[in-house]
Amino acid sequence: MTQFDLTEDQLAIQEMARRFTADAITPYAAGWDERHHFPRDVVKAAAELGFGAIYVSEESGGIGLGRLEAALIMEAMAYGCPSTSAFISIHNMAAWMVDTYGSAATKSRYLPDMVTCDRLGSYCLTEPGSGSDAAALKTKAVRDGDHYVVSGSKAFISGAGENEIYVTMVRTGEEGPKGISCLVIEKDMAGVSFGANEKKLGWRSQPTRQVNFDNVRVPVENVLGVEGEGFKIAMSGLDGGRLNIGACSLGGAQRCLDEAIGYTRERRQFGQRVADFQATQFTLADMETELQAARTLLYTAAAKVTAGAADKTKFAAMAKRFATDTGSAVVDRALQLHGGYGYLQDYPVERFFRDLRVHRILEGTNEIMRVIIARELLRQ
């Protein structure tokens, strides 16, 4: 990216993702939401374009792009369905963690099928008793010869029960972050089970369940990094995940802004188009301004994460907080501009209103983003 403009290659990637979304996602997303249908075939089709391994290295079969290119793809797909785009983001995060921290044997075992989305990956950090306080996790892994024996539960796991691979944070040592390690656990390992599919406000095109581990024997070679590095690995994955969730909010909000413009041009009240009222124009102007500001911050943060800048985590937190708050606010105003019709499922804005709400909670709540930002400021 140049200082203010996307490069020709980035524009081409963005356009490819937009075309894919227009053909494979947007016409079907409302039906997926209504039926709670997980479109695995569409995820597989996205992988054929490289979208299942966006920042997995080319040596491992990925397309080796940066975090800005990933954000462009997620934003474009979220224009059709934030839930499906976010699911693909989570799979990308899991694949990147395997590629970045896995041994050669681990990478060769898992990445070929993850790149093609023949096997899908989940990220397992949150537990019933540890959400924002992630370092307090209790899922335990005890060394027994050349295996770890894993017991515990993970909560709110996207893809649970459907996905085959679970990149899981476990406690192998002392309390706190230094006692956490990261294991790759497979769906079919004995002792892995799943809770009921959660009944959610939004994100209905993907399954969310609890994952349970009952004395699951996991080979020691499935450790990512080394023992005790799990919390650091988990946090490094979240920098990119936060950017992608912010990008999903941008894409959903852009769709709703476009819908609001189209609706207010057609809807007439008091003898004129709703778009001709100055109050409407001011609302649309504010929505566009705030959305562009959030986009600029997120793209800057993505460039910093790709470059490994010293302040990348602070910028990722700022971008995630601002983009997800802004996205929700834009969608809320778009719904208001639709009046009573915006509350009906006949129009897409109510689905986006539901889908984007969770973005302010996951990948670290926006309150935790403020903690991260403030901590970095006070270190200076």
Quote the strand ranges of 4-139, DSSP E: 121-124
Spell out a b/e string for 101-135, using b for 16 or more CB atoms within 10 Å of the CB, else e. bbeeebbebbbebbbebebbbbbbbbbeebbeebb
**C-beta of residue 190 within 8 angstroms of C-beta of residue 172:** no
Q: Quick one: CA dihedral 252, 258, 261, 267, positive or negative?
A: negative
Q: How far is CA 174 from the centre of its chain?
A: 30
**Angle 116-122-126 (CA atoms, 0-180°, nearest 5)?**
165
Residue 142: helix, strand or coil by DSSP?
Answer: strand
Please say if 15 is a catalytic residue: no
Catalytic residue among 162, 288, 363, 367: 363
Q: How many CB atoms lie within 10 A of CB 4?
A: 7
Helices and strands, number each (H, E), in the chain: 11, 10
**C-beta of residue 280 within 8 angstroms of C-beta of residue 260:** no
Give the whole-angstrom CA distance, residue 343 versus residue 360: 21
Residues noted as catalytic:
363
